[in-house]
Structure 1
């Protein structure tokens, strides 16, 4: 049996054991809903006549082990809809599932022993003894609405870890502990990098230390792109609905956009108009008015001019390109852009920096002739190689093809997909990349770059999207060598992707101990006593003049307390300055991750090391100051 098939069958079977255990523990009142296997185990949703807590977990686990030790047979049975409804007459959720099955659907159940039966397609084990060596542990319990509907019954969802044996479970728990220690939300708070507030959900506040790191990422991206011939632009953050209609976002992306009603005339309500609206574009509204209570300022519908915060930079790049006539001699034209974007997300989907509603991308829109596509994408891949190597991460490529809601002609899509497939085959070889059918953007196929972090997790960051549609929609053109007007192809490109998400990834990847060039503060200075403050200022000025981010503590706190503060912030180097250092123009260095102190380092030598690490974007710290 393949490993995945093994895990699916055993995890699914353990979920049934959990359901049987809950009934034996908490009585026939228990209503059991659904219990699928998931990536690291399984879960089951229940209505139970008590609220479960962590104190109940050992009891549940012990009851499950007791059931498994009975070595009960598992048997499959197919039933008519009528018989199935009779069998689950006291189980309201099972009855609803049965009633919703389409006509002709095979209805199967699995019996575990003589006293438990569950509605299920299977497959399952043939006897509980097959589960004797399977390792499981109750992970957590949380609230869950029946079928995800907040207006339906609220259930308790019991999660299980399920692994083939005790060693595999132990390794997973060890991995989880490491993941918790690397959690970017936890480290972001400890390192004072960012915060969130309920008044701006999913929109991070970048604190001074975090903003310095953010700017270091931007500066590095700009350096790389400048060497590859990119020109940076900036465009409005809010545009009229007309722009999004042309681009196609209004039809394909409106549910993820923040609307800003633009108003050229104001009225006051002289009556209570509550209940009239949330969507200013609702044509069922009264002709002249839009909302609210008496005395409130309201819109005049005739003058309503809807605006939207941009979720993407591409339409504005199109306008920038077409502002004047173009010649083939100008191409490629590469417009990089780092403007703020807003995308509306469901509250349950937001997760720290990984899923936000406000973010920046290292975005680019490159206008090329078809003959330039291959060379340009090869150059983009070389940029990805350089940047990901700087962060010490590997990546793999995926090709995403035409989605169901695509825009444009199939023939154009086929040509675009064939071009990207050839590029990837030439770069990575036949079979050296994956194909995600139907996962492309609505305007074109794309290459996604999946990076792998220190815990072996993959993240989609980089993307290259080939677009024949938007330049057509916006009427973009250039004069070719024959003097005729031709439409350019647009490459949408990002390497970091969302900077917010990328920062979340690297916080966890580096566990908050960032490379020297990226650290929010790179050097912390600790004068031992007040009389050493003047020398500390001299060292601070020398480092700052070189662009090294430096902090110094001039207070009269104890030296060890000052050092501890900088260590907690994971500053790469902490300089301790006393009489000897001041007299000899040297520094004593505490290096992050080391308990030893390097003494008598000439200040000039330390400055040279810092300059070298900053320029070369060195991944590891050095202790060689010779």
Structure 2
């Protein structure tokens, strides 16, 4: 756990202590730290409401002020079971009713695993830890919301109350967090997406299946254009693959059964009358298709590295409770590519991918990022990870060396690798400090061999290439969701759905003709320009354009017409003054071309 996670985990115990002082009959299940806070699940006849928060927080403050020590005690399985049966776990003492959830948890702890309890003041709980040294080390905290959850996430089990909270080292950090949350509500990509008419969902289409409206499609196509230009310059070749494939291919790749739960159920039918039935799956990942493309042509070492790129549509059966706007969807278009290379080429190729990430960060104004380097767990070889320990060590060392030599900001996380090799997940922070996972860069040392992929080396022997899976812009869906919140819908000129709106001060023929002529010129240069030549007052026209988050407004009045100029306004910046028409057009075209 990180230092902040440890603090929040400790605060969860303080929450339980406080609840028990108010309602001694409460039965507690799990109380882990989670992203941005913590929660504790409990069973209690009294239904906790937000009106109870102040009372609970007051008791929590007393426990923190008491500065009780978190005492770690190792116990045997028999001792832990006896304590649970006597009602001594997740309790303050004196209760005779068994701690039923803790008893169940103890009974499911694997044999040989160390069992520990933690005590702070009167409260004793079954817990693996770690915790801060004393309750007084917990800084600022706040209870945030309530929910219901089935014990262990199983609807056959009792439904529990879940109390959420958050904690920080000090009040300043907590206030900054809640300020960020308020700003995040204003920037919610679902809200802005509706207001700007970027995308929508429809029950007849199905949950998690976004429909892109014309303005949202602009964002999709601009991102795809950026990726294609960048990848072309980096020596990638574009390919296209179908949206479905036979079960046999996904068995060969190993995605079945590893990822079966994330794939849509198969379509089963007979391809020939009276023949055996065959299963087809919607494509959940592009890599097996790309492996087939590599294998379709006889390859030599001279062909490597081979970089195959595709904005491939994929479909994943995310659970309905996990769907969230564009961030978690069931259909997605992925900025995918697979690099087939020799071991000697690996470092240069992996480093080039990371440098592509950094280039994109600069374009989008992403100042804070970290690469999460995910490694395997040797104890789970053959289960969660392919059973090739030597290749795991070798490829993890290779990735680690690239990260160190590149000077890239990274953290190492065990037990989160892909089943076929180590990977990097890219964490970025938006302009308001909200964290997102947007992209991945993975090493695959196992699957090319399963597909029999080989190339002829200099010595005329057949060798299997390494494969790098990479998606610097992730999916259109998640990346655009991030960008909406990052920019609050105020997209830079090159990306804005409506880049320019030409408007007149009045509707006299000379003004209208000049506006139409300017509009036509802008459109001929590929600039997304619209026209407002209505008889409305100019303040109303400007207000409409501001509300629509049009990037640049070009206003033509009588004086502008006489001077061969236009008055320039920029969304959020106001009036930038009158400028020569030709100069304005050239500046706009250059800024869009250079993605300024």
Give the TM-score category using the shorter length. 0.7 to 0.9
Partner in structure 2 of residue 427 of structure 1: 406
> C-alpha displacement at 1:158, in angstroms?
1.9
Partner in structure 2 of residue 223 of structure 1: 229
Partner in structure 1 of residue 264 of structure 2: 258
Partner in structure 2 of residue 294 of structure 1: none
2:453 to 476, 482, 502: 476
Q: Any stretches of 5+ residues in structure 1 without a counterpart?
A: 267-299, 619-626
Please say if 1:19 is aligned against 2:19.
yes
Please say if 1:190 is aligned against 2:195.
yes
Partner in structure 2 of residue 46 of structure 1: 42
Please say if 1:599 is aligned against 2:577.
yes
**Alpha-carbon deviations, 1:347-396, whole Å to 9, x = none?**
22222222222111211112223332233233323322222211122433
2:292 to 283, 305, 319: 319
State the distance in 2 between where 1:155 and 1:349 align.
19
> C-alpha displacement at 1:247, in angstroms?
1.6
Partner in structure 1 of residue 310 of structure 2: 337
Q: Secondary structure at the match of 1:517?
A: coil
Structure 1 residues 586 and 498: CA distance shift in structure 2, 3 A: same
State the distance in 1 between where 2:199 and 2:250 align.
32
**Alpha-carbon deviations, 1:526-585, whole Å to 9, x = none?**
233333433322222111111111222344444333322221222221222233334444
2:517 to 532, 538, 544: 538
**Alpha-carbon deviations, 1:137-174, whole Å to 9, x = none?**
32111222222222222222222233444334323222
> C-alpha displacement at 1:399, in angstroms?
3.3
Please say if 1:212 is aligned against 2:186.
no
Partner in structure 2 of residue 177 of structure 1: 182
Q: Is the 8 A contact 1:11 1:41 kept in 2?
A: no
* Pairs within 5 Å for 1:341-380: 341-380=314-353
Q: Is the 8 A contact 2:42 2:160 kept in 1?
A: yes
**Alpha-carbon deviations, 1:397-445, whole Å to 9, x = none?**
343334533336433444333333333332228xx64333343222223
State the distance in 2 between where 1:535 and 1:358 align.
45
1:144 to 149, 152, 176: 149
Q: Is the 8 A contact 1:193 1:211 kept in 2?
A: yes
Q: Is the 8 A contact 2:18 2:60 kept in 1?
A: yes
State the distance in 1 between where 2:570 and 2:246 align.
53
State the distance in 1 between where 2:423 and 2:434 align.
22
Please say if 1:155 is aligned against 2:135.
no
Partner in structure 1 of residue 207 of structure 2: 201
* Pairs within 5 Å for 1:111-126: 117-121=123-127
State the distance in 2 between where 1:354 and 1:526 align.
36
1:491 to 460, 468, 472: 468
Q: Secondary structure at the match of 1:439?
A: coil
Aligned length: 571
* Pairs within 5 Å for 1:95-134: 96-97=103-104, 100=107, 108=117, 110=119, 117-121=123-127, 130=136, 134=139
> C-alpha displacement at 1:188, in angstroms?
2.0
State the distance in 2 between where 1:550 and 1:574 align.
10
Q: Is the 8 A contact 2:449 2:464 kept in 1?
A: yes
> C-alpha displacement at 1:222, in angstroms?
0.8
State the distance in 1 between where 2:142 and 2:387 align.
51
State the distance in 2 between where 1:200 and 1:499 align.
19
2:423 to 446, 449, 452: 446
State the distance in 2 between where 1:602 and 1:504 align.
37
Partner in structure 2 of residue 401 of structure 1: 375
Q: Is the 8 A contact 1:400 1:445 kept in 2?
A: yes
Partner in structure 1 of residue 90 of structure 2: none
Q: Is the 8 A contact 1:445 1:467 kept in 2?
A: yes
Structure 1 residues 362 and 83: CA distance shift in structure 2, 3 A: closer
Q: Secondary structure at the match of 1:336?
A: strand
Q: Secondary structure at the match of 1:363?
A: strand
Structure 1 residues 552 and 47: CA distance shift in structure 2, 3 A: farther
State the distance in 1 between where 2:120 and 2:399 align.
51
Please say if 1:166 is aligned against 2:171.
yes
Structure 1 residues 594 and 36: CA distance shift in structure 2, 3 A: same
Q: Is the 8 A contact 1:257 1:344 kept in 2?
A: yes
Larger Rg: 1
State the distance in 2 between where 1:75 and 1:231 align.
58
**Alpha-carbon deviations, 1:579-604, whole Å to 9, x = none?**
33344442212212223x23322221
Structure 1 residues 533 and 135: CA distance shift in structure 2, 3 A: same
Q: Is the 8 A contact 1:85 1:95 kept in 2?
A: no
Q: Is the 8 A contact 1:31 1:91 kept in 2?
A: no
Structure 1 residues 90 and 566: CA distance shift in structure 2, 3 A: farther
State the distance in 1 between where 2:414 and 2:64 align.
45
Give the RMSD, CA atoms, in angstroms: 3.4
Structure 1 residues 263 and 389: CA distance shift in structure 2, 3 A: same
> C-alpha displacement at 1:516, in angstroms?
1.2
Please say if 1:562 is aligned against 2:541.
yes
Q: Secondary structure at the match of 2:143?
A: strand
Q: Secondary structure at the match of 1:361?
A: strand
State the distance in 1 between where 2:299 and 2:507 align.
65
State the distance in 2 between where 1:8 and 1:551 align.
51
State the distance in 2 between where 1:614 and 1:53 align.
52
Q: Is the 8 A contact 2:391 2:445 kept in 1?
A: yes
Q: Is the 8 A contact 2:8 2:167 kept in 1?
A: no
State the distance in 2 between where 1:454 and 1:210 align.
21
* Pairs within 5 Å for 1:576-595: 576-595=555-574
Please say if 1:616 is aligned against 2:594.
yes
Q: Is the 8 A contact 2:208 2:329 kept in 1?
A: yes
Of the structure 1 ranges 529-538 and 139-148, higher mean CA displacement relative to structure 2 is found in 529-538
Structure 1 residues 258 and 81: CA distance shift in structure 2, 3 A: closer
Q: Is the 8 A contact 2:85 2:98 kept in 1?
A: no
Partner in structure 2 of residue 309 of structure 1: 282
Q: Any stretches of 5+ residues in structure 2 without a counterpart?
A: 88-94
State the distance in 1 between where 2:386 and 2:469 align.
16
> C-alpha displacement at 1:44, in angstroms?
2.8
Q: Is the 8 A contact 1:443 1:469 kept in 2?
A: yes
Of the structure 1 ranges 353-362 and 400-409, higher mean CA displacement relative to structure 2 is found in 400-409
